[in-house]
Amino acid sequence: MHVDIGNALASVASPGVSRAALERLDTQVADAHERIERGMADHEHGYEALNLPQRTDPDEIRAAVEPVADADALITVGIGGSALGAATITNALTDESDTEAVYLDNVDPEWVSSHLDRLDLENTAINVVSRSGTTAETLANFLVVRDEFESAGVDWTDRTIVTTGDAGPLRDLSDRHDLPSLKVPDGVPGRFSALSAVGMVAAEVCGHDLEALLEGAAAEAETLSGSLFECPAYAYGATTYALDQRGAGINAMVPYAESLETAAEWFAQLWAESLGKDDLGQTPVRALGVTDQHSQLQLYRAGPRDKLVTFVSPGETADRAIPETDVEDLAYLGDSTLGELLEAEFEATEASLAAAGRPNVRLELERVDEYELGGLLYGLEAACVLAGELYAVNTFEQPAVEWAKKATRGLLGGGEFEEAEAVAEKTSLRVER
């Protein structure tokens, strides 16, 4: 991953950050890097995520999924970090796989049913993912999936992999039915777990190169150093922090590749859940180039000066010629390809924002493949950890999420929780027809 922060400098953007300010901030980056290195060396909670390129064992994952390696489809039942990392990988590389990856990461009943109704369950595998084994949405969907398999006369125990912690209902289920299982790694929050079994079971079933994913991540890890001017991940993390301090409290992630749309969703969770504490943190927004040039660019270029736009630009892509036409006003397109048009759209959008003095940053990949994707995932995780150090927040906790989980469980009769009682205190001002 390469990072270009030129369009975020104060000389071209407002809000922007000057080179002198970045040099002053670099002292804090050096201190933060020492803290990160210490956390990694001591295998501290959260920092342990940055050790995954060396810690994850592809052979262990391959052995666990071997019984379902011939599946035509894989249903991953999880939510948040238990699904988004895996979805980012398989959706980015979908053209390379004959196996359909399906993610049940919501409990909308019509949406869940629509997936289950169209799949050939005899040739479908299940991967249920929850560290605690008690996540309400995951367990509810798993019970629905299991019932659907039983109704179809398919033995779900022959088609299921469990990815969970050392203890809990899913671990008990795995032991009782002798299901192949993998462990959610200790010390790694779910949103940082894409480069572990949590994210890589689906990649293996879909036939992707696990070693290349980890090698790309390891190469990015090698760039971590005490200066933002020497480390792409830290350059991005420090720049986003500096711009937020100067008023750019919204970060729009805009990949210019359809295959990376889910990566923007994954980034949104990573950024929001990690940094949104103590009234601090940027608000992540998801967009897609070129689609959202026609829906959101107007706001980014001419709306409030409270946004940073982050572009993700892959270099090499498969291409397709645009057929020639005898329509005079369209003739110029016949001399081009879709890839050239996509690149021109990206460069025009980037220049449009720069011309309006709107800060933007470019994250560059050589191409969308396992190696580059591993580097992107690791680089953004390291950027997030650095930003958390600069904000002085606990990057790895999520108390607001836990509050909502308790309220949900209480509302469903899963125990007595004061959070559930707060639901009844909602203020209403209804306007009815």
Selection from 238, 246, 244 nearest residue 284 by Cα: 244
Q: Clarify whether 208 is annotated catalytic.
A: no
Residue ranges of alpha helices (H) inside 183-320 are 197-205, 210-221, 232-245, 261-275, 297-302
Q: Clarify whether 343 is annotated catalytic.
A: no
**Catalytic site residue from 273, 350, 370, 389:** 273
Q: What are phi and psi of 424, to 5 degrees?
A: -70, -15
| Residue 114: partners with Cβ closer than 8 Å, 6 or more residues away | none
What span, in angstroms and rounded, lies between the C-alpha atoms of 187 and 45? 4
Cis-peptide, bond into residue 15, ω within 30° of zero: yes
Sheet architecture: strand order including 73-77: 100-104, 73-77, 124-130, 160-164, 181-183
Residue 388 corresponds to which tokens in the numbers above? 């958390």
What span, in angstroms and rounded, lies between the C-alpha atoms of 48 and 56? 11
Q: Clarify whether 273 is annotated catalytic.
A: yes
**Catalytic site residue from 222, 294, 416, 426:** 294
Cβ pair 311, 257 in contact under 8 A? no
* Helix, coil or strand: residue 71: coil
Catalytic residues: 273, 294, 405
